[in-house]
Amino acid sequence: MTLRTVATRPFPGQRPGTSGLRKKTAEFEQPGYLENFVQSLFDVLPGTAGKTLILGGDGRYLNTSAAQIILRMAAANGFGRVLVGRGGLLSTPAASHLIRRHGALGGILLSASHNPGGPDGDFGIKFNAANGGPAAEALTEAIYRRSGEIAEYRILDVPDIDIGRVGTVRLGAMQVEVIDPVSDYANLMERLFDFERMRALLRRGSFCMRFDAMNAVTGPYARAILEGRLGAPAGTVMNGEPLPDFGGHHPDPNPVHAAELMAIMSSRDAPDFGAASDGDGDRNMIVGRGFPVSPSDSLAILAANAKLVPGHADGLKGIARSMPTSRAADRVAAAMDLPCFETPTGWKYFGSLLDAGRVSLCGEESYGTGASHVREKDGLWAVLFWLDLVAARGEGVEAIVRDHWRRFGRHYYSRHDYEEVEAGQAGRLMADLRGRLGGLAGRRLAGLDVTLADDFAYRDPVDGSSSEGQGLRIVFGETARIVLRLSGTGTAGATIRVYFELYEPDPARHDRPVQEVLAPLIALAEDLAGIRRLTGRTRPSVVT
């Protein structure tokens, strides 16, 4: 067993984004590419000797071979113990829980989340810190700086070990524990929700649900919890086998990419409850019979009903949402006399608020919801939260949502994505609009008065850190908003995301088509930003 020090050269562009380093799989397959990034991470961590590391991923192509490399490098860099999910599998929220439970230095997660997988798809790697949450910007910047100067990496020269069976093996002085990736997470869910109440619901012959795992990591989790511990019939979990290419699916739980589930939920014999999760298990979509739930509404509804589930029976400390997420949660927070924080997009911004006990519930419009039990968004947790609400209230999904709208009003909301736009074009579009924001406040546009037009900046109320340039906002008081930002989750070109929100308090006007209601704002955004003129795109790639 030999420790090798391998000479290397920097690869350009290894800057982690909001969710780690994501690139095309072919880039990660370059000799030394993964090794350089991992060594850069280990070099800037505050001491690895004898420490515990959590390791796993979503099962996409390259997951297993990458895990073997990282295990050998962890041993060569002095870690004392690595806990790795059997078969290299570990959902992102489960990894966050394990980091916290075992007092680990952190965890390496192998995933590109909701991006496609396979040899022609995407791969990703990120580090979650000791609190279980995504690494802070100071650490990711240190990794990037180190990646630009790295000259060597360290690795043990040993054969691959068997990570397909639960057990313990040694790599040099380091202990590798292959663990069941599901059991600890499932035990946590039993403490947070009323499993007996949900069992009774699922045993009713009149109640039926479907969960689409999209051939990604939550398949084993959903089968173990929904079909195993809760007693749902076999077949409740569809597409439940994790596959390297996700079965050709784009594992993003929205009405466009979860088309199979949406067809089932819109059929004559539709189940009562539908849900889906993404590649690494941190996102969720909730669907009633022919009735998809907006993620922004979902966050607000969970907040308004939190006391009905055991994990939040004592109430919430506060709510946090990303800036582009609709302001539906703000209205709930105001009614419950709770603080509500508006942060940039990226789960790491919720971490300090959660750690400081300032909030209990967090959410993003991109189908991400989570709470204080981990430091990541958690797809299956959100599904169980909704299922427990349905059981507690004795109402279906649509009835719960409509009751919420009657109480708080409806926030009509939509996101238009323009994917793989040439990066220069996207940058010029944003810069042009940014330069004109100062002249918009006070103007009347599309029959609405502009009360604020700015480039969102955030100052963390806990640690005082600042984040600039987080998205362009055009705000029309409490009535409406338009937001534009560039996404950091793609691997080709740039994705321009445009968000539209219009508040409607009148229940008699809650059944209009979303895109029709938002049409004046959509036309205004085109007029102001010139998307068609500057990019040549005549329509969005995806509308959610």
CATH of residue 467: 3.30.310.50
Instruction: Single out the residue in 408, 438, 470 at which a domain terminates.
Output: 408
The SS3 call for residue 133 is coil
Shared-domain flag, residues 134 and 172: yes
**Nearest CA among 462, 331, 317 for reference residue 409:** 331
Question: Edge-to-edge strand order for the sheet containing 21-24?
Answer: 21-24, 122-128, 106-110, 52-57, 81-89, 174-179, 167-171
Is there a catalytic annotation at residue 326?
A: no
Region 22-49: mean pLDDT is 97
Per-position DSSP letters for 520-540, written without gaps between them: HHHHHHHHHH-HHHHH--SS-
Shared-domain flag, residues 137 and 94: yes
In the chain, the percentage of residues whose pLDDT exceeds 70 is 99
Q: What is the pLDDT of residues 476-509, one digit of tens each?
A: 999 999 999 998 555 567 899 999 999 999 999 9
Torsions phi, psi for 57 (to 5 deg):
-160, -170
Shared-domain flag, residues 199 and 225: yes
Shared-domain flag, residues 170 and 192: no
Shared-domain flag, residues 439 and 292: no
Instruction: Single out the residue in 369, 385, 408 at which a domain terminates.
Output: 408
Counting Cβ atoms within 10 Å, is residue 409 exposed (0-12), middle (13-18) or buried (19+)?
A: middle
Shared-domain flag, residues 11 and 130: yes
Quote the pLDDT of residue 542.
87
Provide the pairing of β-strand 361-364 with 319-322.
parallel
Contacts of 46 (CB under 8 A, 6+ apart): none
Q: What is the pLDDT of residues 282-340, one digit of tens each?
A: 999 999 999 999 999 999 999 999 999 999 999 999 999 999 999 999 999 999 999 99
- The count of structural domains within the chain is 3
Shared-domain flag, residues 388 and 498: no
Quote the pLDDT of residue 490.
52
Shared-domain flag, residues 201 and 174: no
CATH of residue 141: 3.40.120.10
The SS3 call for residue 475 is strand
Q: What is the pLDDT of residues 166-190, one digit of tens each?
A: 999 999 999 999 999 999 999 999 9
Shared-domain flag, residues 174 and 239: no
Active-site entry in 19, 40, 91, 113? 113
In which domain, by residue range, is 312 found? 185-408
Shared-domain flag, residues 471 and 522: yes
Per DSSP (E only), the strands in 10-91 are: 21-24, 52-57, 81-89
Helical spans, DSSP H, in 193-249: 195-203, 218-222
Shared-domain flag, residues 34 and 167: yes
